[in-house]
Amino acid sequence: MHRLRPLFRRFSFVASGGGGADALGLFSLLLLGVLYVAGSGSPVILDDNEGLYAGAAREMRARGDWIVPTLDGMPRCQKPPLLYWLILLSTSLFGENEFAARLPQALAAIAWMAATYFLGLTLGGRGLGWMAALILGTAFGAFVFGHILMPEIFLAASIAWSFLFLWKAFTEEEKRSHGIGLWLSIGFCTMAKGLHALFYPLVVLGILALLSGRWRKVAIPLFRWEGIALFLLLVIPWYVAMERRLPGFLFEQFGNEQFGHALNRRIPPDAGTVRLPLFLSEQAIFLLPWSLFVAALWLPRRKTAMPPSRDEDAGTPFLGLWILVTFLSLLSSSLQDYYALSCYPALALFLARPFCTRQEGRPGWTFWIPFALIAGLAAGAGVAAIAFWSNTKLAQPTLAAAPVEARDTFLAAIFGFPFRTWRAFVPLLLSASLSLFLGGLAGLWLARRGKRLAAGLCLALAMFLPLADAGRGFRLLEDYFSSVKIARYLNALPASERRIVADGEPNFFSSLFFYLQNRKERIYWVHSSSASPFVLRSWPGSGELYLSEGEFLQLWAAAKPAYLICEQSAMSRWQPLFDRTASSWKAVLGCGTRVLVVNRLEAGNPMR
């Protein structure tokens, strides 16, 4: 250990501000960006969110239509088009594959971290900037959602940039360019998610202007016509084009989709709601390991600490209102696990403060105890993994899991598998535990010596391997979260007049839209309640894809091959019906908890 002490001393000297601290912070952020981009190629496209966006972009490209997003040949009116357009650009450059589909998501996450860095830079210096960016990028939830195709990361990144321009307008003389930057950020955000873009920065600005004369002076120049004109030029053309193509779209988009979701009144509901206590606890989990340092925010000020500057004092209500408005706005909405991501930069900047404080001497226990806790938990997890691996009673090869619809939230997805399912994760858990154990010990050693920033950097670097392991872990369970195996089976069969029917909601099987090669082949749905009344009214023939159980059984009894995708748990109900209508039916494939069943084997089927 004594041989490592010179290395630790050199590391702590650099990270504490001497000998290239900026270069070390920049290198760490660049390495984190590489990790985000490199992880974009796997796993396969997952059902639910990923397949909806990647599949819609694939259909837009096939039709040569960049205006109307479609899924299964029907308009998808839920979200504005920015994510679709970025996927289209990426797949045009790199081909239709997982890396190209997810690359815009990784770049948006990097832009999210960059905005956090620059905001921290203006609030408290470079140390605060790159520590906050590292906290954001290495937080467990930020990494996971930064790799799942969804518009929320684009929303979060754009809002972070809009708050950056708000703060720069407050602290710098030049207001015109910051106002243009603010409205450009709001415009991009609107095209990614909707009018949420206007709500968060403008509400926070309005509250601050009511409370502070200095903020009132800032607010007026931000509403110059140039910035507002750029915002309107970014937003209006697509909405007008959609209204011309689909009359009534504007009312559907703003009335039902955006405000309906905000008030939990969308018709029909397309997502469950996470209960508020669970939602709040999930945010603490998503911010691990950094949420363990919350108590360190109340470290007692030492007499040797330098007093905060005027701008630092103003930064606290600025960040606090950003967080408060975000969480208050979610109380009436259809809460989802990831809805608070847009205020994570503010949370990261608060959590970075104990690492960048100007206090001298050894920090209090609220700062160094989390490092000891991380090292202890990592050691315990490693021992438990070894014991779990050596227990032959849990070494059964069968993997059982809850049905897809029972794994619709983050925690339900984790606890939807029995312990034996996670046996394949033991090697990953061991490497992640070792990394966090060493990082926690090194951070503890540095923290006890007053090297706060160096301790934080140690922990951030120690998170790189667990995050990479999380990406590899997705690959181990991809059959349980993706329909790619089913799509590949169907792609290998000769072309025929078959019918593909899925039992459940389209989002449970959405990766089929990305992987099925026959682009003219449409999927029929039974027991689905997610059909949009607006789409059914405005798009002729769309209702034919939604079958009653009786209509499906007629199709099943017909002479043409029909394939049904359903949960294994549903087979106890389907089997008697199949025996009565098509006695030659056969289950041909299992994929996670789902099974592919055919009414009669067609020519060319390898199981015939």
Per-residue pLDDT tens over the stretch 228-279: 999 999 999 999 999 999 999 998 888 888 877 777 777 777 666 788 888 8
Residue 177, pLDDT score: 85
Residue 19, pLDDT score: 47
CA 357 from chain center: how many Å? 31
DSSP 449: T
Residue 34 lies in a domain: no
Q: Tell which of 428, 451, 481 closes a domain.
A: 481
Global pTM value: 0.90
Say whether 263 sits in a helix, a strand or coil.
coil
Q: Do residues 475 and 342 share a domain?
A: no
Domain count, the chain: 3
Q: Do residues 280 and 335 share a domain?
A: yes
Q: Tell which of 481, 503, 531 closes a domain.
A: 481
Ordered DSSP codes for 386-436: HHHHH-GGG--S------GGG--SHHHHHHTS-GGGGGGGHHHHHHHHHHH
Sign of the torsion formed by the C-alpha atoms of 356, 359, 362 and 365:
negative
Residues of the chain with pLDDT under 50: 1, 7-8, 10-19, 301-306, 397-399
Question: Rounded to whole angstroms, how far apart are CA atoms 461 and 108?
Answer: 21
Q: Do residues 125 and 266 share a domain?
A: yes
Structural domain range at position 369: 365-481
Question: Rounded to whole angstroms, how far apart are CA atoms 600 and 560?
Answer: 8
Q: What confidence tens digit (pLDDT) does each residue in 409-429 have?
A: 766 666 666 666 667 788 888
Q: Where on the phi/psi map is residue 194: left (φ > 0), alpha (ψ -120 to 50), or beta?
A: left
Residue from 391, 383, 472, 387 nearest 434 by CA: 383
Q: Do residues 253 and 132 share a domain?
A: yes
- Are 157 and 344 in contact by the 8 Å Cβ rule? The answer is no
Question: Rounded to whole angstroms, how far apart are CA atoms 189 and 197?
Answer: 5
Q: Do residues 117 and 94 share a domain?
A: yes
Q: Do residues 246 and 103 share a domain?
A: yes
Q: Do residues 515 and 553 share a domain?
A: yes
Place of tokens 């409205």: 183
Residue 28 lies in a domain: no
Give Cβ neighbours of residue 171 (< 8 Å, ≥ 6 apart).
Answer: 122, 311
Q: Tell which of 305, 337, 355 closes a domain.
A: 355
Residue 35 lies in a domain: no
Q: Do residues 423 and 568 share a domain?
A: no
Residue 424, pLDDT score: 76
Residue 8, pLDDT score: 46
Residue 52 lies in a domain: no
Residue 260 lies in a domain: yes
Q: Do residues 283 and 398 share a domain?
A: no
Q: Do residues 402 and 324 share a domain?
A: no
Residue 56 lies in a domain: no
Residue 386, pLDDT score: 83
Q: Do residues 163 and 280 share a domain?
A: yes
Residue 11, pLDDT score: 46
Residue 28, pLDDT score: 85
Residue 303, pLDDT score: 43
Q: Do residues 324 and 392 share a domain?
A: no
Residue 272 lies in a domain: yes
Residue 50 lies in a domain: no
- Are 487 and 388 in contact by the 8 Å Cβ rule? The answer is no
Sheet holding 586-591, edge to edge: 546-547, 523-526, 499-503, 562-567, 594-598, 586-591
Count Cα atoms within 13 angstroms, Cβ side, for 93: 11
